[in-house]
């Protein structure tokens, strides 16, 4: 334990300890998230890599038949297509670490039809083609899908959607932070889901817990971070590009 003069100094020192090889993960305590992340993304002294920094919740939802990764619900406010590519790939790599060999990725929108009037639908279609061309690897992608037919096989059947992903995703990629944050909190507070939150794409895993999170959530987040930190390069800890 080290004392720091103020919160900004604490964030700087935490990142410095990682760069010195004296820490293998970061965990936010009483600091504001943007204070810590400002030091993480600093181009000169931060922990940036070739990948964009993204966030994922690993959720255990009582009404769903397997663990569900929700991304991005905490970092990228309105991600463009390139950022969504990294959101997908970071989550896919996390799923591999969790033992899911070929995760199914549902790209969530309000509708399941591609429409030029709704950017998230054209982004979803582009991401699927990027996966076909090897720009996203290690998973099966489908989208756009509305959340009902992404999660429910019955809803997909009624809407005549034929998809290996519909009704059985391991990962749901939301169109923006607002949608992801609402979804994750709804699952937590209305469906009694447990969730482990982790920041991906930096040189080390970063645990961003909320003051409202319970002890179980914090321990689960630490467990996921330990799994990532135990891996050799490259995996989620890409070569430093900062």
| SS3 per residue for 99-133 | CCCCCEEEEEECCCCCCCCCHHHHHHHHHHHHHHC
Cβ atoms of 159 and 149 closer than 8 Å: yes
Cβ atoms of 236 and 225 closer than 8 Å: no
CA 172 – CA 143 distance, rounded (Å): 10
Residue with tokens 């290996």: 164
Q: Stretch 120-145: mean pLDDT, rounded?
A: 97
65: closest CA among 155, 165, 167? 167
How many separate helices (H) and strands (E) can be counted in the chain?
8, 8
Whether residue 158 has pLDDT greater than 90: yes
135: closest CA among 182, 88, 103? 88
CA 137 – CA 117 distance, rounded (Å): 28
Q: Is 82 left (phi over 0), alpha (psi -120 to 50) or beta?
A: alpha
Q: Is 21 left (phi over 0), alpha (psi -120 to 50) or beta?
A: left
pLDDT at 96: 96
**pTM of the predicted structure, to 2 decimals:** 0.89
Cβ atoms of 106 and 174 closer than 8 Å: no
* C-alpha torsion sign, points 141, 145, 147, 153: negative
List pLDDT tens digits, range 170-226.
999 999 999 999 999 999 999 999 999 999 999 899 998 776 778 888 899 999 999
pLDDT at 236: 52
List pLDDT tens digits, range 38-52.
889 888 888 988 889
Domains of the chain plus CATH, in order, are: 49-229 (3.40.718.10)
Whether residue 124 has pLDDT greater than 80: yes
Whether residue 79 has pLDDT greater than 60: yes
């Amino acid at each position: 334990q080290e004392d720091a003069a103020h919160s900004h100094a604490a964030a700087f020192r935490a990142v410095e300890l990682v760069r010195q090889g004296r820490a293998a993960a970061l965990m936010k305590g009483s600091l504001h998230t943007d204070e810590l992340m400002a030091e993480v993304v600093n181009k000169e002294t931060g922990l940036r890599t070739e990948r964009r920094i993204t966030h994922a919740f690993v959720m255990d939802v009582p009404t769903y038949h397997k663990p569900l990764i929700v991304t991005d619900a905490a970092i990228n406010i309105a991600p463009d297509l390139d950022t969504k590519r990294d959101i997908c790939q970071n989550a896919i790599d996390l799923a591999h670490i969790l033992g899911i060999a070929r995760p199914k990725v549902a790209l969530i929108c309000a509708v399941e039809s591609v429409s030029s009037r709704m950017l998230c639908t054209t982004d979803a279609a582009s991401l699927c083609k990027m996966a076909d061309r090897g720009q996203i690897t290690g998973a099966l992608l489908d989208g756009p899908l509305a959340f009902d037919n992404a999660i429910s096989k019955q809803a997909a059947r009624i809407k005549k959607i034929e998809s290996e992903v519909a009704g059985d995703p391991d990962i749901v990629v939301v169109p923006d932070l607002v949608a992801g944050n609402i979804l994750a909190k709804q699952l937590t507070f209305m469906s009694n889901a447990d969730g482990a939150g982790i920041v991906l794409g930096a040189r080390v895993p970063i645990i961003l817990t909320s003051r409202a999170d319970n002890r179980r959530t914090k321990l689960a987040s630490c467990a996921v971070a330990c799994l990532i930190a135990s891996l050799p390069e490259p995996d989620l800890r890409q070569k430093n590009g900062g």
